[in-house]
Structure 1
Amino acid sequence: MKQLRLNAFAMNTPVHQSPGLWRHPRDRSVEFNTIGLWLDLAKLWERGLFDGVFLADVLGPYDVYGGNARAAIAHAAQLPTNDPLLLIPAMAAVTQNLGFGVTVSLSYENPYQLARRFSTLDHLTGGRVGWNIVTSYLDSAARAMGADRQRGHDDRYVVAEDFMTAIYKLWEQSWEDGAVLADKARGLYADPDRVHVIRHDSPYLQMEALHLAEPSPQRTPVLYQAGSSPAGLAFAARHAECVFVSGPSTAVIKPRVARLRQALVAAGRAPDSVKVFALATAITAPTEAEAHDKLADYRSYVDPVGALTLMGGWLGVDFSGYALDQKIRYIDNDAGRAAMENFTRADPGRDWTVGQAAEHVAIGGAGPVFVGSASQVAESMAAWAAETDIDGFNLAYAVLPESFTDAVDLLVPEWQARGLYKTEYAQGTLRGKLFGQGARLAAPHPAAGFRMSQSAI
């Protein structure tokens, strides 16, 4: 069995995936505004040899529940939320190997500015940064950015394809390898003949610019993506190096991963060229009884309205008028297609009510919750990974940092004893650590073609 990969799943907010748990006496989530919390977490994750931290983000409030943001404000449902990118240099300064996958929506960005921010982060981290490419799913974000509503679901991916072409040109094509000389004797920092102005002209974007940052260790950051709709799968198969999937059971995740592997082949890439991480939460303790007691304790702090507020944003459905025993039925809208399918038609053997779904997502979100002794959880998670053909987990938390401390001190040693988890970090950049290859993207990934073909400039 292949070794398991592990990311911490976090967000710069008091409530990420477990609404109400910020009230737990051992939880530090309310310290999200302080740098000390994030430095402590970064050192903890590196001690556990986590591949990285996957930082989520949203650009608008969850205002579907009740038709406004009052519930999100009152229950801290991913609100307030701070910029995740600004955490990365601080966490990088106290670690040497931890990777940083950060969510940025290209729907509200300019590739020229975004390219510089990521190149800067890649320089400052020594090549440990990744970009989770999203197109956003909240109308509140679109209104905040000056639009009436977000683009249609599939249209967002058409724009995203164009955006990626433009940003690849900046990262991979603007500066040739060897353009930076830093020649003090001649007083020549870079060769102007090897730095190129990029031109891009499309219905969505016009740009004439050279990239302001010199090539970083990875040039293009490691590319994460989470789309599971047909349009999202096609985009992931073309661009992603790591894919994040979330769903409550193997019945949901296994066919989703299989479709991704097939889409990779159709896109001319190897089916194992992408690392797939599934959302999961582990509640563990030295004994099974202690673990179940811990879960019961956690559940006593759950905030049902907070859970319904998050669900409403993910699915695009206002659950404030639903009875808890009402069945959830599929609605085709412009919110998260995979989130909608998780609780409707992805698992024909399960018919979710609103109350059941809210109870499920209240601890760790839409993924499975593994409960038991460290040995039991390690075995169950490994079997789950093998059945679904994933490469690892994005590990959510119930109580911060307790959930991650338990994973580091209890779960990781169990996997290591089974030969399922690394005992030391590999050398190199985040891309090198994940894939055992060079720092930069190689063919047949489309980004590599821009760097290799100077005649296309």
Structure 2
Amino acid sequence: MTRQIRFNAFDMNCVAHQSSGLWRHPKDQSARYTDLRYWTELAKLLERGRFDGIFIADVLGTYDVYGGSNEAAIRHGAQVPVSDPLLLVSAMALVTEHLGFGVTAGTAYEHPYPFARRMSTLDHLTNGRVGWNVVTGYLPSAARNMGNDDQLEHDERYAHADEYLEVLYKLWEGSWEDDAVERNRETGVFTDPTKVHEIGHVGKHFTVPGIHLSEPSPQRSPVIYQAGASPRGIGFAAENAEAIFVGASTKAGLKSTVTKIRDALEAAGRDRYSARIYTLLTIITDETPEKAQAKYQDFLSYASEEGALVFMSGWMGIDLSTYDLDEPIGNVKSNAIQSAVANFQQAAEDGSQWTVRDIARHGAIGGLGPFIVGSGVEIADQLQEWVDETDVDGFNLAYAITPGTFEDVVEFVIPELQRRGAYPTEYIEGTLRQKLHGRGDRLPAEHRGASYRVTPTPSVAD
């Protein structure tokens, strides 16, 4: 049986998301990020392409590792200015019926109590199509602007996030019983107070005694997304994630990462396939191979290598401006995104000697992930090879230009995959969780969050 390939669209509420400099391309519309119509038009396009969802990244700081300041980031529009991702969702949900929305929010600088209400609100307004990408943060500038000298160490950030999730699960799963809301016009009872429970949480980082402010939403807990591929990140994902985003420069590296994640899921008492795994990829395609290559060369002429190094410095936690452009990157210890460093080290182990210049050229289009160029048929061949050889579920598609890159995928790649029976032609009905896993709207019993479910209050008859 032909394995189905899944797509997410990777975007951000800013100009230069992953492909620095491409905002200058005459066909790029990312500068319209402050126009709500840009987002509603994109949502309708992605739903027409049967994408699982749009995954909206976010940062709460500027990229100021490169050169020791944020001047280069500001100059190139490298994820600054950047606006809030959550406020886009309601409008996109209104013009779609099935598209999912994975929104990024960090655990470091917002208390879980108001955040729980915000996510429940979105889950209600989208009719159960929202997911939360859990990030612990990696930009030192964000820490400083929130009153700290620096961010916590990598593993300590995950320990803090563990308790953050515990509070949220208690609020989402353990505060309101399913039938607490009666809406009884005859008795005048809107909600039965005996079926709404205080969570009484007292922990190392948070004290939350009271009830969740929102009634149960279609999914209760939003679908949990996670993007950490470090050993600690994989352990965190194994307990919490239902969709996992990874990045790898080679098939061998991706296969290794996917295997580690599936092993960790199993070790956590979950099914090996209880989380969908998507790998970062940028597709440049057209009607013919020649047109696709010409398009790639055109994009490359607008790319900014310095802008790419701004991103890479922030992701890796290394000031790449201090390196000679032809110097090998070598072995480094990073307190930022450890998987970013590992990807380049792995590429070197595969026989290539990565230099700073290589990193700049590689990241100029698509950021940390690889990019592939070709006709729709050629791209479909490669995607099927990646899935067959690595056991990945699908691809988190970054763009060179927007919405043009996504339009090309919908026009040239998806029809070819559908002809092969390798891509869905219709959506599954139901919530985002049901669409992704086909096991219902709520967290499965073996998921960590399910252990916090409230025990129903016995009825008078009982």
Return the alpha-carbon distance in structure 1 between the equivalents of residues 242 and 348 of structure 2: 27
Q: Which residue matches 1:435?
A: 437
| 2:133 aligned partner | 132
Shift of 1:358: 1.0
> C-alpha separation between the residues in 2 aligned to 1:72 and 1:115?
32
The answer to whether the Cα contact below 8 Å between 1:330 and 1:341 also exists between their aligned partners in 2 is no
Q: Tell me, yes or no, if structure 1 residue 447 matches structure 2 residue 449.
A: yes
Map of 1:386 onto structure 2: 388
Q: Report the aligned-residue RMSD.
A: 1.1
Residue by residue over 1:249-307, the C-alpha shift from the partner in whole angstroms, topping out at 9 and shown as x without a partner, is 21221101111111111111111111000000111111000000000000000111100
5+ unaligned residues in a row in structure 2: which ranges?
A: 458-462
1:65-98, CA deviations, whole angstroms, 9 ceiling, x for partnerless residues?
0101000000011111000000000100110100
Distance in 2 separating the partners of 1:133 and 1:347: 30
| SS of corresponding position for 2:396 | strand
Task: State the 1:108 CA deviation.
Answer: 1.1
Pairwise mapping of residues 132-281 of structure 1 onto structure 2 (< 5 A)? 132-281=133-282
Maintained 8 Å contact 1:245/1:276? yes
Query: 1:385 Cα shift?
Result: 1.7
How does the TM-score come out when normalised to structure 1?
A: 0.98
Q: Please give the alpha-carbon distance, in whole angstroms, between the structure 1 residues aligned to 2:442 and 2:84.
A: 27
Name the counterpart of 2:349.
Answer: 348
- Alignment correspondent of 2:424: 422
Distance 2:394 2:190 in 1: 43
Misfit runs of 4+, over 6 Å: none
Q: Which amino acid aligns with 1:6?
A: F
Offset at 1:344?
A: 1.5
Pairwise CA distance, 1:118: 0.2
d(CA) in 1 for partners of 2:255, 2:173: 35
State yes or no: 1:331 paired with 2:332: yes
- Equivalent position of 2:410 in the other structure: 408
Match of 1:292 in 2: 293
* Number of equivalenced pairs: 455
Any conservation in 1 of the 2:4–2:424 contact (CA below 8 Å)? yes
Q: Tell me, yes or no, if the aligned pair for 1:343 and 1:351 is still in contact at 8 Å.
A: no
Task: Quote how far apart the aligned CAs of 1:439 are.
Answer: 0.4
Q: Deviations over 1:123-162 (max 9, x none)?
A: 0000000000010111111111111100000001111111
Q: Is the 2:195–2:456 Cα contact (8 Å) retained in structure 1?
A: no
CA drift of 1:333 comes to: 2.6
Alpha-carbon distance in 2 for matches of 1:304, 1:417: 38
Judge conservation of contact 1:106–1:134 (CA < 8 Å) in 2.
Answer: yes
Residue matched to 1:58: 59
Contact kept in structure 2, 1:282 and 1:403, CA below 8 Å = yes
Given that 2:282 and 2:399 are in contact with CA atoms closer than 8 Å, whether structure 1 keeps it comes out as: yes
1:424-448 deviation line (CA, Å, top 9, x unaligned): 1110000001111210001110111
Distance 1:4 1:217, change over 3 A: same
- Identity over aligned residues, as a percent? 52
Letter in 2 for 1:371: V
Q: TM-score, normalised by structure 2?
A: 0.97
Q: CA deviation at 1:386?
A: 1.6
Q: Structure 2 vs 1, CA of residues 147 and 454 (structure 1 numbering), >3 Å: closer, same or farther? A: farther
- Structure-2 separation of matches of 1:351 and 1:270: 38
Letter in 2 for 1:368: P
C-alpha distance in 2, partners of 1:136/1:250? 27
Letter in 1 for 2:257: R
In 2, Cα distance between the equivalents of 1:453 and 1:387? 44
Write the letter of the residue equivalent to 2:87: L
Matches of 1:347 and 1:192, distance apart in 2: 61
- Asked if the contact 2:144–2:150 (Cα under 8 Å) also holds between the matched residues in 1, the reply is yes
1:359 is aligned to: 361
Which secondary structure does the structure 1 equivalent of 2:349 belong to?
Answer: coil
Gap runs ≥5 in structure 1 = none
Contact 2:249-2:347 within 8 A present in 1 as well: no
1:49-128 matches, within 5 Å, as: 49-128=50-129
Q: Which SS does the other structure have where 1:108 is aligned?
A: coil
CA distance in 1, matches of 2:246, 2:456: 36
**Partner AA of 1:375 in structure 2:** V
- In the other structure, the counterpart of 2:460 is none
1:25–1:274 Cα change, 3 Å = same
